[in-house]
Structures are given as C-alpha cells and as structure tokens.
Amino acid sequence: MNICVFLSAADLDDRYTRPAREFAHLLGKGGHTLVWGGSDVGLMKVVADGVEEAGGRLLGVSVEFLAAKARSGVDEMVVAKDLAERKRLLLEKADAVVIMVGGTGTLDEATEILELKKHGHTDKPVVLLNSAGFYDGLKEQFRRMEDEGFLPRPLAELMFFAEEPAGALAYLEESLGVV
C-alpha cells in the first residue's frame, strides 16, 4: 500500500515520536510505501527514518519553498509548486491516509481528505492516530458535528480513530484487503 501520512515537521516529545516511530516500523516491515511531505526534519524525519530502516519505500512530495528541507536519497521525490498542488499530489499517490499529530498544516490536510470523502470524491480509508490523546478535543468536535447533523455521512464512514499504531495499520490493511 501507499500510505500517506499527514504530520508535523516539528521536533516533538517522546509521547509523540514513539508512536510515530512504531507506526513507521510497522509500515516499512509490511513492505508498504510512505507517502509524506518529503521533509527531513522533525516528526517527518522520524517517520521516514523508521520506514526506511524497516525496509519500506519513501515517496516524498515537497513544495518549492521547502525544497531545502527535502530528504535526499528517497525512492521518489516530487516537488509541487504550492501547498494546494502538494495536497493534491499526496492524496493522488496514496491508497490510504493516516493523520498523526501536527499543527495547522496537518489539520488543513486532514479536513481536505474528509471533505473529499464526505462528498463521495474518494473512498480511501482515513485513520486519525490519536497519540497521547492529542486529538481528544477534535474527536469530540467531530462527534458533535455528527450528533448535530453537520455531517451528511456517519463519522465512522469518514474516519477511524486509532489509539495505537498497530490498530491504525490493521484497519488500513483490512480496509484495503491487504493481508
């Protein structure tokens, strides 16, 4: 599988890097390809390192103004002209999406794929990996949106909430029929 991971490029604490590293190891060990923002810094580097060390492939999609932070020596690197094109390419090249901890860029990417799913423009499985309860508030907000009629489809059809990396990958493999 080509698994797109939306995540931070910041240097983060172990409560976030440990699950990211664990997911990366599982992804690489499973022979999957990481599709990510291409950066060689912060949590993006942690995940790319883990996938590469475990034998997986790396497919980066950087953007012109961040090209200096792009990881070298990857299996494939694409440089988009802007963030909108980057998002489009990341989703185009992926079979599934995992949302890890991140800031406004990660949230923007996450809502983009959810909007596409909500309107039936993609059926790619989406997992929100809730490391250390980072997304507890967002999870509550999504449930409120569902309860109050803001989502035309059940939340469970839009995304799966995983508390641990193994559960995230198991959901994706099951969703896509990968054994």
Predicted local confidence at residue 178, as pLDDT: 83
**170 pLDDT above the threshold of 80:** yes
Any bridge partners for residue 63, and if so which?
80
Tokens in use for 155? 């939340």
Packing angle of the helix pair 83-93, 104-118 (nearest 10 deg): 60
pTM of the model: 0.94
Tokens in use for 111? 């809502």
**179 pLDDT above the threshold of 80:** no
67-102 confidence digits (pLDDT tens): 999 999 999 999 999 999 999 999 999 999 999 999
How far CA 70 is from CA of 9, 61, 65, 92, in Å, comes to 11, 9, 10, 20
Length of the chain counted residue by residue: 179
The chain-wide mean pLDDT, for the chain, equals: 95
